[in-house]
Structure 1
């Protein structure tokens, strides 16, 4: 990404003279907002748009309500939206703008969008870009009023100070902005493609890891080195024997149910299918609910937003809550515990973390559960499997669905089938996954940094373009 120096120099020279500043109301022939009392929804009719339909300097017909033809006529009599008008979001996310194109589908507006008709002194696109410039955005932020959703009133909007350049200069500035934005858009599209490829690569790494294709299997390694090894089946029997011998619960020890392998794929040599229940020595256990009034000081607590599939918040950054000593003893995580989200939106249900520190053991919230695993299992291997596409699908297969929310219970977790490789192979898999994903995370961080830089550069271009005091190309925006 690079804004050419000659373009910057040219634009800086064009705006060094001939500018003036006027309030917006003196530059437009129409300044109205959409309906404050939207008509009833209809199954058919004319679209009624809102602020969500103004994106990237365009009008997007994706989510909207329909109103009757008669209601549209009543709305249109007031707003008279025509080609060349400028739409501006003035409630909620303030300051997105777009020009109404020729032959646009007829539509009405809700009050979150204002309609401006530029007069002869302003080109519509010149106004659109200036309304999104940092100076005007700061003005809107300072003048916005409201509690639940802030907004800019029409009277305040009419007082917005607008820089007015001669029309020939406006054309040059718009052309230059669009040329630079086009370059930025191409760079951003490339970065987003890279990010999508990284996401696919991560999924491929996890898939290969839990299918025995990421590292050399223990069976292959032992054969090559001429030695014996403990296969997954023997490891599983050893784990179960330990469970039986150490059982201290009520009644007779109940053997974990073996998974139904009918629809499960064949595993590599030395691996075996088992259930997560057979690998758990303590749990699963649901977390604790504590009212908001107890939050602020006390014991650290892991909450639902404190971890995702590939990161967990450090204990020093967790919220704190006052809890009884007996609750601290019952609901504190221990190093090596695996944490599973049991209630969430469908896209986040079943996310998994491993608590790995012994510095200070936090409590964990009621919308998650924890389990301690046998010493014959590497917790991060199990987490890697449950984070993989097929692992997560099997974990959430029996999920119960509600409106915008789903849940799994302890029985669902216990019954999840898990492919168990030899212990040494588990460790190699975890190490290789960590190595590859650490490189991926560094690349993702670079991509995200460049995407943020593109956002800042876009604002720099607009700030620079609408600065009539600029007398040289010093400070023109550039990006590597």
Structure 2
């Protein structure tokens, strides 16, 4: 094993390769299956998506259609250490320990079962989830495409890991799991808080508009000009002069905000640019796509000096004497979403609205001065909710970082003090190597007995 740039570890630990600790690696086969999880007595094959950096997911499986393909030796059982040898750069080398399984599932050619000699499998699981473990896997994985990397069995065996004394492995694993349990409880509480804040946001919006629910109903089309945008890739007459100009796509127009991190260019004529150029105060609303995109939108504030919009984004330019952009945007994002679901065209998981639907959106419309007061009060409430939401998100990020801190401290031997009475890891490795040496002799003896 190469010793270049290996981090310092306690004196009772030892650096080893995964292959030094293995008693074997088992792999299944690749063959045609039905793309659904097996039911009742059916047998299935596990997919690569069953093994990520979380828990084993037995639902990520497919059904074996041929009984000739069924091999009980390949069935996955509780306690198995599974390793994904092929996946994206982020997921290649992901591993899990199976805690429970209700389906009859076999290994595939991409999901391997690792078997160990005298070592705590959970220790290896956690080491491979540290930043060091990920770096080792990425160092040894092959392939030059982000979408698929591979790490073969020889390279899995070459992964370098620190090995503590056996007793210390058990103590560290116990402490990690105790800390992770507390951390997961905190994360669950933060996620509940986030859900409650979302409910508060809904309640604040509904309460703000409730006081004017009896105001005269006006349709959006009567409040200003509504236009569609420029169709991407349209055919033009030969010789038509165009130039590239920034434009807004559906992805840029979020519910209650604009995401301008990625702005693309589109070819447009000077007349199209003049007609479709956005000005501050324009209300933008999406035509649809996925159901969550339907009718979502926000206000253009002139963030880019020259910008137009594509045909899947509607622009509403309001008459300032009738309606304010923030009143219409808040109303459309909340109440309009329900209206668009009802009036729009829907297929499986997709929905869309047209110009007619949009123009007909009914809005209870008080005088402009009352609209401004409604929005001032609403945005005061939403600002407080947003601040709390940002705080929750920051704590969720800290929780994720803390998991890695705990793992890295464990990997460095700094999570718990060492016990001088522990048997050094070097002696553990010597016993494993002795067992390796005896294994071929035992297999040869069994073969001689069979053929005698």
- Superposition TM-score, scaled by structure 1 size: 0.75
Q: State whether structure 2 residue 126 is matched by structure 1 residue 129.
A: yes
Looking at structure 1, the residues matched to 413 and 247 of structure 2 have their Cα atoms a distance apart, in angstroms, of 53
Partner of 1:58: 55
Looking at structure 2, the residues matched to 175 and 275 of structure 1 have their Cα atoms a distance apart, in angstroms, of 63
Looking at structure 1, the residues matched to 202 and 94 of structure 2 have their Cα atoms a distance apart, in angstroms, of 35
Among 216, 228, 242, the alignment partner of 1:285 is 228
Among 26, 38, 41, the alignment partner of 2:20 is 26
- The list of structure 1 runs, each at least 4 consecutive aligned residues, that deviate by more than 4 angstroms after superposition, is 41-44, 468-473
Deviation per CA, 1:336-369, whole angstroms, max 9, x where unpaired? 1111111321122211111122761411122211
Q: State whether structure 2 residue 10 is matched by structure 1 residue 16.
A: yes
Offset at residue 305 of structure 1 (A)? 1.9
Looking at structure 1, the residues matched to 304 and 130 of structure 2 have their Cα atoms a distance apart, in angstroms, of 48
Partner of 2:139: 142
Q: CA RMSD in A?
A: 2.7
Among 217, 227, 231, the alignment partner of 1:273 is 217
Deviation per CA, 1:264-298, whole angstroms, max 9, x where unpaired? xxx33xx122222222x22232344258xxxxx95
Looking at structure 2, the residues matched to 283 and 25 of structure 1 have their Cα atoms a distance apart, in angstroms, of 67
Contact 1:24 1:161 in 2 (8 A): yes
Provide the secondary structure at the position in 1 that maps to 2:412.
coil
Q: CA, structure 1 residues 402+427, in 2 after alignment: closer, same or farther (shift >3 Å)?
A: same
Looking at structure 1, the residues matched to 402 and 333 of structure 2 have their Cα atoms a distance apart, in angstroms, of 36
Q: State whether structure 2 residue 290 is matched by structure 1 residue 345.
A: yes
Partner of 1:186: 185
Among 344, 349, 352, the alignment partner of 1:407 is 352
Looking at structure 1, the residues matched to 304 and 192 of structure 2 have their Cα atoms a distance apart, in angstroms, of 40
Partner of 1:81: 76
Offset at residue 327 of structure 1 (A)? 1.9
Looking at structure 1, the residues matched to 114 and 304 of structure 2 have their Cα atoms a distance apart, in angstroms, of 59
Offset at residue 384 of structure 1 (A)? 0.6
Contact 1:398 1:408 in 2 (8 A): yes
Contact 2:343 2:357 in 1 (8 A): yes
Among 301, 308, 314, the alignment partner of 2:247 is 301
Q: State whether structure 2 residue 95 is matched by structure 1 residue 97.
A: yes
State how 1:413-428 maps to structure 2 within 5 Å: 413-428=358-373
Partner of 2:237: none
State how 1:176-325 maps to structure 2 within 5 Å: 176-212=175-211, 267-268=213-214, 271-279=215-223, 281-290=224-233, 298-313=244-259, 318-325=263-270
Contact 2:257 2:299 in 1 (8 A): no
Deviation per CA, 1:21-49, whole angstroms, max 9, x where unpaired? 22212312222444333434477423433
Offset at residue 322 of structure 1 (A)? 4.5
Looking at structure 2, the residues matched to 71 and 431 of structure 1 have their Cα atoms a distance apart, in angstroms, of 70
Provide the secondary structure at the position in 1 that maps to 2:316.
strand
Q: CA, structure 1 residues 343+109, in 2 after alignment: closer, same or farther (shift >3 Å)?
A: farther
Offset at residue 71 of structure 1 (A)? 5.6
Contact 2:75 2:106 in 1 (8 A): no
Q: CA, structure 1 residues 409+112, in 2 after alignment: closer, same or farther (shift >3 Å)?
A: farther
Contact 1:19 1:164 in 2 (8 A): yes
Contact 2:228 2:310 in 1 (8 A): no
Deviation per CA, 1:78-102, whole angstroms, max 9, x where unpaired? x453432211233122343221236
Provide the secondary structure at the position in 2 that maps to 1:347.
helix
Q: CA, structure 1 residues 127+347, in 2 after alignment: closer, same or farther (shift >3 Å)?
A: same
Looking at structure 2, the residues matched to 470 and 414 of structure 1 have their Cα atoms a distance apart, in angstroms, of 63
Contact 1:328 1:363 in 2 (8 A): yes
Offset at residue 185 of structure 1 (A)? 0.6
Partner of 1:107: 105
Structure 1: which 5+ residue stretches go unaligned? 1-14, 218-266, 292-296, 474-480
State how 1:438-477 maps to structure 2 within 5 Å: 438-468=383-413
Provide the secondary structure at the position in 2 that maps to 1:48.
strand
Q: CA, structure 1 residues 108+336, in 2 after alignment: closer, same or farther (shift >3 Å)?
A: same
Q: CA, structure 1 residues 378+33, in 2 after alignment: closer, same or farther (shift >3 Å)?
A: farther
Q: State whether structure 2 residue 150 is matched by structure 1 residue 151.
A: yes
Partner of 1:378: 324
Provide the secondary structure at the position in 1 that maps to 2:139.
helix
Contact 1:32 1:154 in 2 (8 A): no
Partner of 2:116: 118
Q: CA, structure 1 residues 156+56, in 2 after alignment: closer, same or farther (shift >3 Å)?
A: closer
Q: CA, structure 1 residues 134+197, in 2 after alignment: closer, same or farther (shift >3 Å)?
A: same
Q: CA, structure 1 residues 107+312, in 2 after alignment: closer, same or farther (shift >3 Å)?
A: same
Contact 2:77 2:101 in 1 (8 A): no
Partner of 2:377: 432
